[in-house]
């Protein structure tokens, strides 16, 4: 697979309210091309809402979200989503389609040539043998295999951006670790700009180039794991790191 | 729905304009009504008119609605029924007064005309064995009031309860029986003949009165309202075909109660086909030109039901075909309406429950009431039958489509959305395929209900397997009933099994 043309992302002054609940409160964040930013925070901190602004699953009440140089509001939402990879927590595989057909989804939507071959290639990328797994139904797979297929599906059309919403959250520890390794390897090869929502600081430190800590719809601090550990910007960040027992050793990896 | 009805009405109007219409002769679903209607039909044919027979229409309400709106042209009715049931007025003392009242009111209110009465009444009758009548010198109800304390009565539960039944009778004649037992209509004649009771209620022209040679006691205080039989004629026929009206008028005053009992006995007790009994009756009245020797083809009850079915094979096949056509057409229309409706409702969400419940209410309407309601709109025959069946089929399909699509794997649907499928693509490629088994279950439910409900179509002259069921019930012919009921039951099984195959075919791959 040729390396994807990585794209920078940005949010500036983005706010979003659901009824009376403030999900995002003037968030500003710049993500350089090929970076992997982890959005961490407690439930309700706004991390998933922010993620979903980038492919217009959420439309902000205020502020500007850009993918590349373009304000996302200027791009047709459906076209935008077809250009951005997306991995939900539960995989979201279509149960009535085979693994192969699932991975072909975005390729077919984009109507590109060599759909079958590209889908097979994408399966190989996530460590699944197309001959063995291509004709299986999603329900015949383990949880880890399903997430691998979801990642293969998100990457098959070689998007410039990959959004992952707690992709490994529902897996057991060993499988999670395997998938994290696999993802890190894929990132190493593709350099696709990635946004990863997680509540696991260790996962963030392991996979992301930058970590953004969200709290009540605001970014408390954004920086590399090393910077966060060395100079926590707020008491909240300090407490969060202490609770997670994130060590300097880990951040150096 | 409104446009569908409009299209169907337009089709019917167009059909009506292209062919000159025969005289549509109908009856209500009981033996005497079948017989009188057949006599009307044969008489009209003998006078050179073309006839379309629609026997066994639902009940008074349906037959009268059909007549009033010219969907049928003539059927036999009773003056008392016209006064009490249709006009909703209190009874009048004499037969002449009742006839005057209904003929004047019907002409003024509905444009419907009562021809002069046929000559007999079919009213409530209190009957005793001839031996009892002789030994106790019973001829009138006043006589029985005198002998009452010695007699045991066997009366239908309905008659015991109604104000114009036993309570009123006791009051009018100061009547007391030794014992009153509730007996079903099917057994009361046998109970009387066997001496288990001494007095029963019935209808004055019941064939069984003749069969058991019973004595009907005269209602000398005119307690029972008069129920004179007469032909009633649609506004259209009355205005457009004096020839037909004159032909029907030839029967006025020509029948009496004793003759009617004999004729009813041949139909209901002996099982002679209605056509033969009608022809014999008209011949003996001198109303048919050619002399026909009376044949008495009685029901051969020793013959097996299998032999009967073999003999009726062609009819059963034809009726099954019609039944299947009614079910198929109505199911198709119902799917065309209910499937999109379910999908739209799933989108708009808020009013969905209310609309689906309203559709569900349709399900609770009694079939006969719905049919009666539609006659002024759509007349009788196949069209209103299909519309009624469509209305009955909507609910399970709408409900299952709505629920199936709403609950289709939500994680898969939101992932499909997030990866850039349009709403239309999600509906077509994800939600509908995932909901297919649930939707098919709704369609199967509708289809099986439909096969049963379609037997009601016979009540509005749409044919199908309800026809032998209605006629068989009217003529107390069990084999005729079964010749409709058994194929209908088999049809339900076959329809469900075939749709089961369709379901397997639409089932999404991972569930096969």
Domain borders along chain A are 7-93+161-243
Mutate to test the interface with B, among A49, A90, A95 (most CBs of B within 10 A): A95
Closest-CA distance of chain B to residue A227, Å: 33
Shortest Cα–Cα distance, B435 to chain A (Å):
11
Contact A93 B412 (CB under 8 A): yes
Q: How far apart are the first and last CA of chain B?
A: 36
- pLDDT attached to residue B76: 96
- Maximum Cα–Cα distance across chain A: 53
3-class DSSP assignment, residue B498:
helix
pLDDT of residue A124: 93
Query: Which chain B positions have a beta carbon within 8 Å of A152's beta carbon?
Result: none
**Does residue B14 have a pLDDT over 70?**
no
Give me the residue from B411, B418, B510 closest to A57, CB to CB. Answer: B418
pLDDT in tens, B443-473: 999 999 999 989 888 888 888 898 888 888 7
B411 contacts A94? CB cut-off 8 A: no
Nearest chain B alpha carbon to A78: B420
What does R_g of chain B's alpha carbons equal in angstroms?
A: 27
When pLDDT is averaged across residues B333-339 and rounded to a whole number, the result is 94
Looking at residue A211, what is its pLDDT?
95
Q: Which of A57, A139, A150 has its CB closest to that of B510?
A: A139
- Confidence grade of residue B11 (pLDDT, cut at 50, 70, 90): low
The residue with greater pLDDT, B184 or B228, is B228
| Neighboring chain A residues of B415 at a CB cutoff of 8 Å | 86, 88, 91-94, 150
Residue A3's pLDDT is 42
Closest CA to B476 of B265, B223, B213, B249: B265
User: CB–CB of A86 and B415 under 8 A?
Assistant: yes
**Cα separation values, B381 from A216, B72, B335, B387, Å:** 69, 10, 22, 11
**Given CB atoms, is A107 within the 8 Å cutoff of chain B?**
no
From chain B, the residues in CB contact with A80 under 8 A are 420
For residue B290, the model assigns a pLDDT of 60
Subunit contact B419:A153, Cβ cutoff 8 A: yes
Report CB contact under 8 Å: B420, A79. Answer: yes
Per-residue pLDDT of chain A (253 residues; tens, 9 = 90+): 334 477 899 999 999 999 999 999 999 999 999 999 999 998 889 999 999 999 999 999 999 999 998 999 999 999 999 999 999 988 899 999 999 999 999 999 998 899 999 999 999 999 999 999 999 999 999 999 999 999 999 999 999 999 999 999 888 889 999 999 999 999 888 889 999 999 889 899 999 999 999 999 999 999 998 899 889 999 999 998 888 877 665 665 5
* ipTM metric: 0.91
How distant is the Cα of B55 from the closest Cα of chain A, in angstroms?
53
Which chain B residues touch A if contact means CB-CB below 8 Å?
409, 411-412, 414-422, 425, 430, 433-434, 508-511
Task: Write out the two tokens for A91.
Answer: 């995989």
Nearest-Cα distance to chain A for B482, in Å, is 46
CB contact under 8 A, A95 and B434: yes
Of A82, A93, A137, the CB nearest to B420: A82
Q: How far is B436 from chain A (nearest CA, A)?
A: 11
A236 touches chain B (CB under 8 A): no
pLDDT (0 to 100) of residue B157: 76
Q: Say if residues A183 and A155 touch (Cβ distance below 8 Å).
A: no
Alpha-carbon distances of B151 from B6, B197, B213, rounded to whole Å: 61, 8, 19
- How many CA atoms within 13 Å lie on the side-chain side of A234? 13
Which residues of chain A have a CB within 8 Å of the CB of B405?
Answer: none
The answer, for A27 touching chain B at a CB cutoff of 8 Å, is no
Q: Is A195 on the interface with B (CB under 8 A)?
A: no
Phi, psi of B318 (to 5 degrees): -60, -45
pLDDT in tens, B342-355: 988 888 867 778 88
User: Exposed, middle or buried: residue A138 (CB in 10 Å: 0-12, 13-18, 19+)?
Assistant: buried
Task: Find, among A50, A10, A14, the residue nearest to A31 by Cα.
Answer: A10
Nearest CB to A81: which of B419, B430, B509? B419
| CA closest to B508 among chain A residues | A96
CA distance B424 to chain A (A): 12
Rounded to the nearest angstrom, the minimum Cα separation between B343 and chain A is: 20
Q: How far is A40 from chain B (nearest CA, A)?
A: 21
CA–CA separation, B50 and B45 (whole Å) = 6
List pLDDT tens digits, range B96-128.
999 999 999 999 999 999 999 999 999 888 999
Assess whether pLDDT exceeds 70 at residue B488: yes
Q: How would you write A183-229 as a 3-class SS string?
A: HHHHHHHHCCEEEEEECCHHHHHHHCCEEEEEECCEEEEEECHHHHH
Q: Give me the residue from A83, A86, A138 closest to B418, CB to CB.
A: A86
> In Å, how far from its chain's centre is CA A59?
18
Q: Above pLDDT 90, what percent of chain B?
A: 43
Partners of A12 in beta bridges: A64
Instruction: Give B431's contacts in chain A (Cβ within 8 Å).
Output: none
To the nearest whole angstrom, how far is the Cα of B29 from the nearest Cα of chain A?
Answer: 53
Give contacts of A 52-71 with B, CB under 8 A. 55, 57
**Inter-chain CB proximity A105 and B419 less than 8 Å:** yes
How far is residue B8's CA from residue B384's CA, in Å, rounded to a whole number?
A: 9
- DSSP-derived secondary structure for A73-125: GGS-HHHHHHTEEEE-TT----TTS-HHHHHTHHHHHHT-S-HHHHHHHHHHH
Between B120 and B375, name the one with better pLDDT: B120
Residues 117-156 of A with CB under 8 A from B: 137-139, 150, 153-154
Instruction: Note whether A100 contacts B: Cβ–Cβ < 8 A.
Output: no
CB pairs under 8 A between A and B: 68
Min Cα distance B425 → chain A (Å) is 10
**Any idea which residue has 């029986």 for tokens?**
B177
Residue B474 · residue B274 · CB < 8 Å:
no
Task: Compute the distance between CA of residue B154 and CA of residue B160 in angstroms, rounded to an integer.
Answer: 10
> Which superfamily does A7-93+161-243 belong to?
P-loop containing nucleotide triphosphate hydrolases (3.40.50.300)
Give the residue from chain A lying closest to B422, CA to CA: A78
Look at B420 and A92 and tell me if their CB atoms are within 8 Å.
Answer: no
User: What sign does the CA torsion over B92, B93, B95, B97 have?
Assistant: negative
Give me the count of residues in chain A: 253
Tokens of B493: 């099984």
Question: What are the helix and strand counts (H, E) for chain B?
Answer: 25, 10
* Token pair 């003037």 in the structure block, residue: A26
Per the CB < 8 Å rule, is B508 touching A153?
A: no
pLDDT value at position B305? 79
pLDDT digits (tens, 9 = 90+) for B264-287: 989 888 888 899 999 999 999 988
Q: Are B229 and B264 in contact (CB under 8 A)?
A: no
Binary contact (B412, A92; C-beta < 8 A):
yes
- Answer whether A105 sits within 8 Å of B416, measured CB to CB: yes
Element of type H or E holding B279: helix B274-284
**What is the three-class DSSP state of A3?**
coil
Separation CA B110–CA B132 (nearest Å)? 47
Whole-angstrom distance, CA of residue B404 vs CA of residue B398: 10
- pLDDT tens by residue, B134-190: 988 889 988 888 887 888 988 887 778 777 788 888 888 888 888 888 887 767 888
pLDDT score recorded for residue B51:
93
CA distance B340 to chain A (A): 22
**Per-residue pLDDT at B419 exceeds 50:** yes
Using a CB-CB distance cutoff of 8 angstroms, which residues of chain B are in contact with residue A57?
417-418
**For chain B, the helix, strand and coil percentages under 3-state DSSP, each to the nearest 5:** 65, 10, 25
Q: From the list A88, A98, A154, which residue is nearest B411 (CB)?
A: A88
> Which of B220, B282, B235 shows the shortest CA–CA distance to B36?
B282
Which residue among A55, A94, A138 sits closest to B416, beta carbon to beta carbon?
A94
């Amino acid at each position: 697979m040729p390396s994807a043309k990585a794209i920078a992302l940005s949010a500036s002054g983005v706010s979003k309210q659901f009824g009376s609940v403030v999900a995002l409160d003037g968030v500003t964040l710049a993500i350089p091309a090929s970076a992997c930013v982890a959005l961490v925070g407690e439930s309700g901190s706004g991390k998933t809402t922010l993620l979903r602004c980038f492919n217009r699953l959420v439309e902000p009440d205020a502020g500007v979200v850009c993918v590349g140089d373009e304000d996302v509001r200027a791009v047709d939402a459906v076209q935008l989503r077809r250009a951005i990879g997306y991995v939900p927590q539960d995989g979201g595989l279509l149960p009535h389609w085979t693994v192969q057909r699932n991975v072909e989804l975005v390729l077919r939507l984009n109507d590109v040539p060599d759909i079958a071959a590209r889908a097979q290639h994408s399966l190989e990328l996530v460590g699944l043998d197309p001959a063995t797994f291509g004709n299986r139904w999603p329900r015949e797979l383990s949880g880890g295999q399903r997430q691998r297929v979801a990642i293969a599906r998100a990457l098959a059309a070689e998007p410039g951006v990959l959004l992952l919403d707690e992709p490994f959250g529902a897996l057991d520890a060993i499988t999670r670790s395997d998938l994290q390794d696999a993802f890190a390897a894929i990132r190493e090869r593709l350099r696709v700009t990635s946004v990863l929502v997680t509540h696991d600081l260790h996962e963030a430190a392991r996979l992301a180039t930058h970590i953004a800590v969200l709290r009540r719809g605001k970014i408390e601090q954004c920086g590399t794991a090393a910077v966060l550990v060395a100079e926590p910007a707020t008491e909240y960040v300090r407490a969060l790191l202490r609770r997670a027992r994130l060590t300097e050793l880990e951040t150096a990896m | 729905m409104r446009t569908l009805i409009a299209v169907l009405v337009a089709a019917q109007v167009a059909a009506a304009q292209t062919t000159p219409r025969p005289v549509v002769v109908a009856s209500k679903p009981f033996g005497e009504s079948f017989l009188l209607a057949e006599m009307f039909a044969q008489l009209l044919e003998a006078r050179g008119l073309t006839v379309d027979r629609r026997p066994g229409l639902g009940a008074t309400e349906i037959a009268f609605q059909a007549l009033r709106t010219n969907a049928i042209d003539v059927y036999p009715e009773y003056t008392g029924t016209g006064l009490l049931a249709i006009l909703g007025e209190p009874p009048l003392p004499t037969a002449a007064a009742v006839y005057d009242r209904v003929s004047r009111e019907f002409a003024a209110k509905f444009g419907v005309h009562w021809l002069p009465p046929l000559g007999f009444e079919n009213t409530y009758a209190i009957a005793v064995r001839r031996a009892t009548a002789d030994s106790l010198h019973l001829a009138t109800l006043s006589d029985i009031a005198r002998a009452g304390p010695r007699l045991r009565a066997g009366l239908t539960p309905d008659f015991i309860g109604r104000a114009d039944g036993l309570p009123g009778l006791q009051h009018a004649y100061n009547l007391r029986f030794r014992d009153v037992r509730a007996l079903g209509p099917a057994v009361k004649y046998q109970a009387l003949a066997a001496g288990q009771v001494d007095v029963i209620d019935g209808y004055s022209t019941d064939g069984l009165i003749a069969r058991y040679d019973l004595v009907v006691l005269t209602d000398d205080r005119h307690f029972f309202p008069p129920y004179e039989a007469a032909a009633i004629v649609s506004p259209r026929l009355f205005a457009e075909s004096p020839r037909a009206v004159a032909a029907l008028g030839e029967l006025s005053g020509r029948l009496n109660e004793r003759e009617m009992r004999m004729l009813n006995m041949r139909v209901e007790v002996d099982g002679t086909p209605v056509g033969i009994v009608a022809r014999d009756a008209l011949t003996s009245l001198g109303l048919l030109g050619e002399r026909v020797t009376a044949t008495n083809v009685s029901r051969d009850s020793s013959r097996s039901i299998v032999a009967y079915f073999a003999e009726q094979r062609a009819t059963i096949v034809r009726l099954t075909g019609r039944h299947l056509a009614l079910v198929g057409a109505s199911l198709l229309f119902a799917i065309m309406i209910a499937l999109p409706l379910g999908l739209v409702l799933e989108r708009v969400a808020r009013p969905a429950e209310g609309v689906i419940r309203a559709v569900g209410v349709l399900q609770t309407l009694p079939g006969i009431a719905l049919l009666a309601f539609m006659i002024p709109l759509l007349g009788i025959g196949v069209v209103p039958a299909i519309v009624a069946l469509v209305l009955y089929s909507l609910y399970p399909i709408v409900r299952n489509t709505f629920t199936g699509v709403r609950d289709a794997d939500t994680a898969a649907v939101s992932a499909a959305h997030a990866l850039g499928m349009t709403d239309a693509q999600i509906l077509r490629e994800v939600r509908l395929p995932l909901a297919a088994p649930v939707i098919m279950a709704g369609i199967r439910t509708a289809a099986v209900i439909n096969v049963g409900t379609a037997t009601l179509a016979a009540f509005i002259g749409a044919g199908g397997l309800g026809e032998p069921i209605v006629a068989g019930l009217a003529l107390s012919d069990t084999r005729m009933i079964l010749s409709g009921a058994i194929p209908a039951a088999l049809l339900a099984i076959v329809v469900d099994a075939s749709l089961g195959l369709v379901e397997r075919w639409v089932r999404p791959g991972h569930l096969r």
